[in-house]
Amino acid sequence: MKNPILSVDELNEILANENIIILDCSTESNKAGLQSDFEKIKIKGARYFDLKNDFRDSESIFPNTLPNPEQFQINSRKLGINDSSKIILYDNLGVYHSPRVWWMFKIMGHKDVSVLNGGLPEWIKRKFPTQQEYDLEFNEGNFKSDFQYYMISDLNFIKQNLENDEILVIDARNSKRFNSLEPEPRKNLRSGNIPNSINIPFEKVLNNGKFKEPENLKLVFKNINATSTKLIFSCGSGVTACIVYLASELVLENKKSLYDGSWTEWGTLEKI
C-alpha cells in the first residue's frame, strides 16, 4: 500500500511532476469551530475539491453523505483526475477535511492518494511555493470509480452487530459530546453515543495539525485488539472520523470501515 500521508518536504521535491494533482479540500466552516489564518493562499498548482457541493449526496437529509460512484467519477474527471494520477490532498487547518477526501478516493478505488501532513499551515511555515488563485486550466480526466464496499458500514449493519465482540465502533467526537456532557452542534440532534462504542477524539491522533508519530499513535490505539476486531469509525457526520481512520491505517492491520451517517443519522433515527 502506498503511504497515505506525505510530508511537505516530499511534496516540494516532486511539485513539478506532471502526474501530480494537488487538491485543496478546505471548507468555509466546520463543526469543531476551527478557523484558518490562510483563507486566500493556495499551494502552487492546487485545484479546489468542493466537498460541500460537488462531492456530497445533495438528496440525503444528512450532511456530508458520500455521493454515488457515478457522481464522484464525473466530478473527479472535471478536476482532471486520471486513474494514474498521484493525488495529494490538503486543507487550510492542517489536517481536518483532507482525510475525509482520502477515504472518498480510496472507497472509489483510486490507488494513489495521500494526505499532506500539516496541510497548508505547514507548507507556508516552510516557505514553499504558493499562489493566490486555484489552477483552472486542465484537461478532463479519465478516472473510473471502482466502489470498495468493505470500506463503508450502514446503520443496519451496526445495529445487527452491537453485541458482536469482533466489531468495534470508534467515535471521534470530543469526550463531552460522546458522554452527553455538552449538546450536539446540530440543532435538534439528541446527545449520546452508539452502544458499546469507544471514544477516541480526533485531536488525540494529532499534534499541532499533523499526525502523531507511529509510536505515539500506537499508544492511542493500545487497548484495541489488533488481530481480530473490525473497526468502524464514526463521529458527528463522517468527517473527523476519517482523521482517526487514517491514523489507525498508519499503525493497525485491522479491517476498517466508516459509518458514513455517524451520530447525525444514529441520533436522529435510533431511539433510546
pLDDT in tens, 205-263: 999 999 999 999 999 998 786 556 899 999 999 999 999 999 999 999 899 999 999 99
Q: Residue 47 in contact with residue 22, Cβ under 8 Å? A: yes
Please, what is the end-to-end C-alpha distance for the chain in angstroms? Answer: 41
Cα separations in angstroms, 142 against 7, 86, 145, 158, 207:
27, 13, 10, 35, 37
**pLDDT value for 229:** 81
pLDDT digits (tens, 9 = 90+) for 178-221: 999 999 988 889 999 999 999 999 999 999 999 999 999 999 99
The amino acid present at 98, given as its one-letter code, is S
pLDDT digits (tens, 9 = 90+) for 110-156: 999 999 999 999 999 999 999 999 999 999 999 999 999 999 999 99
- Which residues neighbour 127 within 8 Å (Cβ) at sequence distance 6 or greater? none
- φ and ψ of 264, to 5 deg: -60, -40
Q: What percent of the chain has pLDDT over 70?
A: 94
Which residue in the block uniquely carries the three cell numbers 453485541?
163
- And the C-alpha cell for 13? 521535491
Nearest partner of 261 among 56, 49, 50, judged by Cα: 56
Could you tell me the maximum CA-CA distance found in the chain, to the nearest angstrom?
A: 55
State pTM to two decimals.
0.94
| Residues taking part in catalysis | 235
What does the DSSP 8-state code read for residue 91?
Answer: B
Cα separations in angstroms, 173 against 131, 180, 234, 245:
34, 11, 8, 13
Q: Left, alpha or beta for 31 (phi > 0: left; psi -120 to 50: alpha)?
A: alpha
Cα separations in angstroms, 42 against 26, 61, 196:
10, 32, 42
Cα(72)–Cα(235) distance, integer angstroms = 22
- And the C-alpha cell for 155? 446503520
- And the C-alpha cell for 225? 485488539
∠ CA 246-262-105, rounded to 5°: 40
Please give the domain boundaries of the chain with CATH numbers for all domains: 5-147 (3.40.250.10), 150-269 (3.40.250.10)
